[in-house]
Structure 1
Amino acid sequence: MHMQLLPNDRVVMYDRTDFGISNISLPNGKCRPNSTDCSSHSVEYDVGSNTIRPLMVLTNVWCSSGTLMPDGSLVQTGGWADGYRRVRIYKSCATCDWQEIPNGLNQQRWYATNHLLPDGRQIIIGGRQAFNYEFYPKMSATENSPSFPFLVQTNDPNVENNLYPFVFLYPDGNLFVFANNRSILFDYSKNQVVKTYPTMHGGQPRNYPSTGSAVLLPLRMKKGVAESVEVLVCGGAPKGAFANSNNGRFDGALDTCGRIRISDPNPQWVMETMPLARVMGDMLLLPNGHVLIINGASAGVAGWELGRNPVLSPVTYRPDNQIGSRFEVQNPSTKPRVYHSTVVLLRDGRVLVGGSNPHDKYVFTNVLYPTELSLKAFSPSYLDLSSSSSRPRILSPKTKTKIRYGKQIDVTFLV
Structure 2
Amino acid sequence: METFFLLSLLFIIHSSPATSQILASTPTLQGEWRLLHESIGISAMHMQLLKNNKVVIFDRTDFGPSNLSLPGGRCRYDPNDDVLKTDCTAHSILYDIGTNNFRALTVQTDTWCSSGAVLRDGTLVQTGGFNDGDHVLRTLAPCNGENCDWVEFPGVLAQRRWYASNQILPDGRVIIVGGRAQFNYEFYPRNSRTSSSNSIWLNFLRETRDENENNLYPFLHLLPDGNLFVFANTRSIVFDYSQNRVVREFPSIPGGNPRNYPSSGSSILLPINENTTPVESEVMICGGAPRNAFQLVKRGTFLRASSSCGRLKINDRNPTWQMENMPMPRVMSDMILLPNGDVIIINGAELGTAGWESARNPITRPLIYKPNEESNRRFSTMATSPRPRLYHSTAILLTDGRILVGGSNPHVYYNFTGVDFPTDLSLESFSPPYLSPQYDSLRPRIIEIDEIVSYKNSFSLTFTVQRFMKMGVVTVRLVAPSFNTHSFSMNQRMVLMKGVQVTCVDYNVYRVDAIGPSTAEIAPSGYYLLFVVHAGVPSSGMWVKIQ
User: 1: CA distance between counterparts of 2:184 and 2:138?
Assistant: 20
Q: Is the 8 A contact 1:353 1:375 kept in 2?
A: yes
In the other structure, the counterpart of 1:232 is 284
User: 1: CA distance between counterparts of 2:86 and 2:204?
Assistant: 44
Q: Is the 8 A contact 1:171 1:226 kept in 2?
A: no
1:114 deviation in Å? 0.3
1:401 deviation in Å? 5.0
Q: 1:364 aligns with which of 413, 416, 419?
A: 416
Runs of 4+ in 1 over 2 A off after TM superposition: 220-223, 225-228, 389-394, 398-415
1:246 deviation in Å? 1.5
- Please state if 1:258 is matched with 2:302: no
Sequence identity (%): 55
Farther-moved stretch of structure 1 (130-139 vs 214-223)? 214-223
C-alpha distance 136-402 of structure 1, shift in aligned 2 (>3 A): closer
C-alpha distance 161-206 of structure 1, shift in aligned 2 (>3 A): farther
- Please state if 1:9 is matched with 2:53: yes
- Please state if 1:81 is matched with 2:131: yes
- Please state if 1:164 is matched with 2:214: no
C-alpha distance 88-266 of structure 1, shift in aligned 2 (>3 A): same
1:162 deviation in Å? 1.3
Q: Is the 8 A contact 1:228 1:263 kept in 2?
A: yes
1:157 deviation in Å? 2.0
Q: Is the 8 A contact 1:204 1:237 kept in 2?
A: yes
Q: Is the 8 A contact 2:224 2:279 kept in 1?
A: no
In the other structure, the counterpart of 1:195 is 248
User: 1: CA distance between counterparts of 2:450 and 2:260?
Assistant: 43
User: 1: CA distance between counterparts of 2:358 and 2:345?
Assistant: 21
User: 2: CA distance between counterparts of 1:78 and 1:161?
Assistant: 17
1:409 deviation in Å? 2.4
User: 2: CA distance between counterparts of 1:303 and 1:101?
Assistant: 29
Gaps of 5+ in 2: 1-44, 79-84, 470-547
Deviations 1:40-85 (A, max 9, x none): 0001001111111111101111001111111100001111100111
In the other structure, the counterpart of 2:233 is 180
Other structure's SS at 1:172 match:
coil
Q: Is the 8 A contact 2:135 2:161 kept in 1?
A: yes
1:408 deviation in Å? 3.3
Farther-moved stretch of structure 1 (169-178 vs 35-44)? 35-44
In the other structure, the counterpart of 1:20 is 64
In the other structure, the counterpart of 1:335 is 387
Larger Rg: 2
Q: Is the 8 A contact 1:73 1:89 kept in 2?
A: yes
C-alpha distance 218-404 of structure 1, shift in aligned 2 (>3 A): closer
Deviations 1:15-42 (A, max 9, x none): 0101111111111101012433100000
Q: Is the 8 A contact 2:403 2:430 kept in 1?
A: yes
User: 2: CA distance between counterparts of 1:139 and 1:127?
Assistant: 19
C-alpha distance 109-370 of structure 1, shift in aligned 2 (>3 A): same
Count of residues paired in the alignment: 410
Q: Is the 8 A contact 2:448 2:462 kept in 1?
A: no
Other structure's SS at 1:202 match:
coil
In the other structure, the counterpart of 2:112 is 62
Q: Is the 8 A contact 1:161 1:179 kept in 2?
A: no
Q: 1:325 aligns with which of 357, 372, 377?
A: 377
C-alpha distance 226-73 of structure 1, shift in aligned 2 (>3 A): farther
C-alpha distance 41-393 of structure 1, shift in aligned 2 (>3 A): closer
Q: Is the 8 A contact 2:303 2:352 kept in 1?
A: yes
1:389 deviation in Å? 2.4
Q: 1:151 aligns with which of 205, 217, 226?
A: 205
User: 1: CA distance between counterparts of 2:462 and 2:107?
Assistant: 45
In the other structure, the counterpart of 2:169 is 117
- Which amino acid in the other structure matches residue 240 of structure 1? N
TM-score (norm 1): 0.96
Q: Is the 8 A contact 2:450 2:460 kept in 1?
A: no
User: 2: CA distance between counterparts of 1:85 and 1:240?
Assistant: 30
Q: Is the 8 A contact 1:161 1:206 kept in 2?
A: no
TM-score (norm 2): 0.73
Other structure's SS at 1:411 match:
strand
User: 2: CA distance between counterparts of 1:250 and 1:53?
Assistant: 38
Q: 1:215 aligns with which of 268, 275, 280?
A: 268
In the other structure, the counterpart of 2:333 is 281
- Please state if 1:126 is matched with 2:178: yes
Gaps of 5+ in 1: none
1:404 deviation in Å? 5.6
C-alpha distance 393-60 of structure 1, shift in aligned 2 (>3 A): closer
Question: Higher relative contact order at CA 8 Å, sep ≥6: structure 1 or structure 2?
Answer: 2
- Which amino acid in the other structure matches residue 147 of structure 1? W
- Which amino acid in the other structure matches residue 224 of structure 2? P
User: 1: CA distance between counterparts of 2:240 and 2:134?
Assistant: 26
Q: Is the 8 A contact 1:355 1:374 kept in 2?
A: yes
